[in-house]
Amino acid sequence: MVKKILYLLPSYNMYGGTPKKTLDLIKYSSNESYLYVWTNAYAKEFKKEFDNSGVKIYEGVYGRNIFKHISGLLKIIDTNNIQVIQSQFFFGELLVGILKKLRPKVKIVIAFVGSSSPNVLKRTILNNFYNSIDAFVYISEYVKSQKVKIYPKLKTTYSVVIYNGTNTPQINNKTYIKSKNDFTILSVSGLTKIKNIQVLIDCMDILLKKNYSSVKFLVAGDGPKRKKFQHQILKKELGENFKLLGYKKNIGDLINQADVFVHPCYIEGFGIAVAEAMIMEKPIIVSNSGALPELIKHEKTGLAVDPFKPEEWANAIIKLKENPILAATLAKNSKIQAETEFSVSQFVNNYNKLYQNILN
């Protein structure tokens, strides 16, 4: 039976994982989908992708005016006979919490997309709403464990763990300059503290001291720490071996041309870029913390090392560089796992089961 689902998003920002997976749910599900975006940020870059999916889009550019948002959403719900509303992030959770009290027959799904803890005031507000929510989704067992610590009442609520899904990223055969002997290490990451790019900079410094000058780091992404990291790169004289590329749309091309993919974040809730590298059959090194050990099994589907020990990162890179048979085996195993556990079809099927369960 076709279900009418309303998705709430803060923006169209496809650089973030949540809009991307919401678009996957819209495109690959047989449900009748509606989208409410409470800012029009990144509309120029990405709105067309949502338009092309056929979803009915509503924009509520009202800032933090709760009353206007709620009024607009109630009209959408009543006009379209919405059965399920799905949201995430504090403001989205606040909106659906209020909507549940005004339209109690509508089923509400809150998806936890990270493990961060809000301040005391926000926790108090959300605690009052969580009693009436129909289902909670966690993107990993790690996120579930962290959220239950913050909100003990979640132990007794209806919830499921649904891993994010991904298809093979599009490859346009756009190349970057790479010499014949380069051994390229790629990270797709925001330049923030928790993403931990600093350990890769320190790792490259160690590799140069060990005469591994053929190793080249590429980091696709941007963020508030860019100037700091650029300063570190200059200070350590790593300019030829460590490049900050900024945001890139051709991630498929970058992964395709990389020799190894790395992800050093120490409190990652899932790691969609890791799943993309897995499905593209790349050798992978990740931090042995957060949700990443749920994706990469050490010495089976990749290598997992201490997020704060650059020496371990350097040794892991050397291990894969010097043992291409091991690298190829780990890459093959990770692709098999990704196709089984992190495919878009599996992701969409799991959500469809959830919707059916709460409507029943």
Whether 60 maps to a domain, the answer reads yes
Q: What is the pTM of this model?
A: 0.91
Whether 265 maps to a domain, the answer reads yes
| DSSP at 108 | E
One domain, residues 207 and 143: no
Distance CA 203, CA 147 (A): 32
One domain, residues 204 and 128: no
pLDDT bucket at 178, cuts 50 / 70 / 90 = confident
CATH number at residue 211: 3.40.50.2000
* pLDDT recorded at residue 17: 81
Whether 173 maps to a domain, the answer reads no
One domain, residues 312 and 287: yes
One domain, residues 198 and 332: yes
pLDDT at 175 over 80: no
Whether 172 maps to a domain, the answer reads no
Portion of the chain with pLDDT greater than 90, in percent: 84
One domain, residues 270 and 297: yes
pLDDT tens-digit series, residues 185-239? 999 999 999 999 999 999 999 999 999 999 999 999 999 999 999 999 999 999 8
One domain, residues 197 and 159: no
How far apart, in Å, are the Cα atoms of 37 and each of 34, 61, 88, 102? 10, 8, 12, 20
Beta strands in 174-249 (DSSP E): 183-188, 215-220, 242-246
One domain, residues 248 and 261: yes
- Provide the mean pLDDT of the chain: 94
Please give the tally of structural domains in the chain: 2
- Asked if 194 contacts 257 with a C-beta cutoff of 8 angstroms, the reply is no
Whether 18 maps to a domain, the answer reads yes
Beta bridge partners, 94, equal: none
Whether 171 maps to a domain, the answer reads no
Distance CA 354, CA 317 (A): 40
pLDDT tens-digit series, residues 292-329? 999 999 999 999 999 999 999 999 999 999 999 999 99
One domain, residues 261 and 153: no
One domain, residues 246 and 192: yes
Whether 237 maps to a domain, the answer reads yes
One domain, residues 14 and 143: yes
pLDDT at 179 over 80: no
pLDDT tens-digit series, residues 94-119? 999 999 999 999 999 999 988 888 88
pLDDT tens-digit series, residues 290-302? 999 999 999 999 9
One domain, residues 334 and 350: no
Q: 351: domain range?
A: 4-165+343-359
pLDDT tens-digit series, residues 10-51? 999 987 789 999 999 999 998 999 999 999 889 999 999 999
pLDDT bucket at 177, cuts 50 / 70 / 90 = low
* pLDDT recorded at residue 97: 95
Cα 311 → chain centroid:
27
